[in-house]
Every structure is written in structure tokens, then in C-alpha cells.
Amino acid sequence: MCGRAYSPRFLWMWPNARISVMGGEQAAMVLSQLRRDNIEAKGGTWSIEEENEFRAPTRRSSKARAIRIMPPPAMG
């Protein structure tokens, strides 16, 4: 793989492509897994509903932070 971090001369991508290090779902899973392990290490429990509530903001913010490579096409 060759991403922007490697300063390529050319990137072959779709016009609406976005670049990010990790997708929102993956980042949310990693963070929630760390939190779950932390809670369980202290003897607590964490419900699926609480986990989904915890993941939601990470999913939303990663979509907003992804770098858009090209502007969207002009309408009309």
C-alpha cells in the first residue's frame, strides 16, 4: 500500500474518495474494546446498549474528519 504518508507521485483513487488512517467503525471497536477491558478489570459490567452509545460519537466524528481528496462535482 502507498498512502499519502509515503508522498507518492500519483494516487489512483475514485473522485469521491476520502483518506483516513482508520475507519470510524474500526476506531470505535478498538476504543470500546479498551474501555470494556478496563471496566471488566475493575469488576464491572458493560451492556451492549452502553457500548453502542459509546461507539456512536466516534463513528460520526470520523466521517467528518476524513480528508476529502477532490471537491464534489458542481451541480447544474
Beta strands in 7-66 (DSSP E): 18-19
Of 61, 72, 76, 65, the residue nearest 19 (C-alpha): 65
Measured distance CA(37)–CA(18) in Å, rounded:
31
28, 58 Cβ separation under 8 angstroms: yes
Find how far residue 31's CA is from the centre of its chain: 11
- pLDDT digit string, tens, across residues 10-43: 777 777 777 766 777 888 899 999 999 999 999 9
Q: Is 42 helix (H, G, I), strand (E, B) or coil?
A: coil
Q: Tell me the percentage of the chain whose pLDDT exceeds 90.
A: 28
pTM: 0.56
